[in-house]
Amino acid sequence: MKGDVVPPARCSVLTMRSLAIDTHSDTSSTRRSGQLTREISSESIERLQMANNFAHIPVLASEVTDFFAHLPVGVVVDATLGGGGHAELILSANPNVRLLGIDRDAVARSAASSRLARFGERVRVSAGTFGELRDIRENAADFVGTDPIVGVLADLGVSSPQLDDPTRGFSFREDAPLDMRMDSSTGFTAAELITTLDARELTQLLREHGEGRFAPAIARAVIATAPQTTGELVAAVERAVPMGARRRGHVATRVFQALRVRVNDEEGQLEAMLSGALDLLAPEGVLVVISYHSGEDKVVKAQLATAATGGCTCPVALGCVCGAVPRVRLLKASAIMASDEEIAQNPRARSARLRVAWKVPA
Ligand SMILES: C[S@@+](CC[C@H](N)C(=O)[O-])C[C@H]1O[C@@H](n2cnc3c(N)ncnc32)[C@H](O)[C@@H]1O
């Protein structure tokens, strides 16, 4: 555990060191999962400098803090550490807990390491995907030990710095290589993904993300172009959608979202994270999930609803006769959303939906 996070004062050198620490944890993890391979040498100086300027405002900060502030002694897993904004609030609010922060993005981990340095051995910053949450007792055995997992936080999607870094290819606002990987060291870029899809498959993907009657035309235009940059992708979408038929917002919003979700296997990751978290949580532990689009929220809502009924499908009028045992209680019946004040300060909060579940004692 020693030195998992580093003091923020000596920025560039120490950022390197924190990455070295990540790489160490990667090395041990790599033996278990090929997905966790990292190369510190692939970090550019620009990336390291960016990590020191990681500007991401944590959404629903006071609501999140409240859910974690009174947990008993144990480990909280921040499955989407990002720049460590929520993690810092949780560690400050609750001296009982230690925090294991996971992120697949090296820049985020580096920024979080600096930000959380003052918490010393109460924090572990770890590389990996939250789809592997179920294995953390093994993957982070030296940190978690036999302590109960008293909380899991998942603040889904991308961070502001990922969106704002023009080299990452997440944003239609900048012309950049069409990449979109949260972990730039592994997997297929969006440009490569497009070359593996036919028009029918891409149409289907776009429809799943809310693209309507122009989905087939967009799919054909995108495949014919085989875009290598975000600018080329935007141009292909613009060619396919007549000006008069465009909805509010940017014409390529849903196309970018659809490709990002597929490139990062966000749906598979979410399902695996939710089921891993429900199994891992100690009795009376809390699971907080913040999602940013309806597809994500639908999955979270459905999986938590099933856990809350124990899978019972007996007609409500008859009452439960199947003997299903609820695994969680939903602490709020519907999703918590940001206030107008928060949205005014942080427009990203507009689409946030927070759902929270409490693990029922066995
Ligand atoms: C919205 S940001 C989290 C911001 C953080 N709560 C904060 O306050 O700074 C989401 C983070 O989750 C990470 N992420 C997304 N999907 C992931 C996955 N499947 N496994 C691990 N990290 C993931 C992204 O790289 C990003 O840094």
pLDDT digits (tens, 9 = 90+) for 235-247: 999 999 988 778 8
Q: What tokens were used for 339?
A: 């206030």
Ligand 1 within 6 A of CB of 169: no
Q: What tokens were used for 44?
A: 């550019």
Residues shown for the chain: 362
Span 208-212, average pLDDT: 89
- Residue 184 binned pLDDT confidence (cut-offs 50, 70, 90): very high
What pLDDT does residue 357 have?
98
- Which of 232, 263, 294 is the last residue in one of the domains? 263
Sign of CA dihedral 164, 266, 83, 106: negative
Domain that holds residue 124: 11-161+266-359
Atom 22 of ligand 1, nearest CA residue: 103
Find the 160 Cα to ligand 1 centroid distance in Å. 10
333 pLDDT above the threshold of 80: yes
175 pLDDT above the threshold of 90: yes
Tell whether 197 and 218 lie within a shared domain: yes
> Could you tell me if residue 53 is inside a domain?
yes
**What is the spatial distance between Cα 150 and Cα 241, in angstroms, rounded to a whole number?**
49
- Average pLDDT value for the chain: 86
- Which of 196, 228, 263 is the last residue in one of the domains? 263
Q: What tokens were used for 174?
A: 């900048």
Tell whether 202 and 147 lie within a shared domain: no
- Which of 263, 291, 324 is the last residue in one of the domains? 263
38 pLDDT above the threshold of 80: no
Q: Which CA distances in Å does 15 have to 90, 105, 187?
A: 23, 14, 25
29 pLDDT above the threshold of 50: no
Q: For 271-308, what is each residue's pLDDT tens digit?
A: 999 999 999 999 999 999 999 999 999 999 999 999 99
Ligand 1 within 6 A of CB of 85: yes
> Could you tell me if residue 168 is inside a domain?
no
Give the pTM. Answer: 0.85
Instruction: Count how many domains the chain has.
Output: 2
Tell whether 71 and 212 lie within a shared domain: no
Tell whether 73 and 209 lie within a shared domain: no
93 pLDDT above the threshold of 80: yes
What pLDDT does residue 51 have?
47
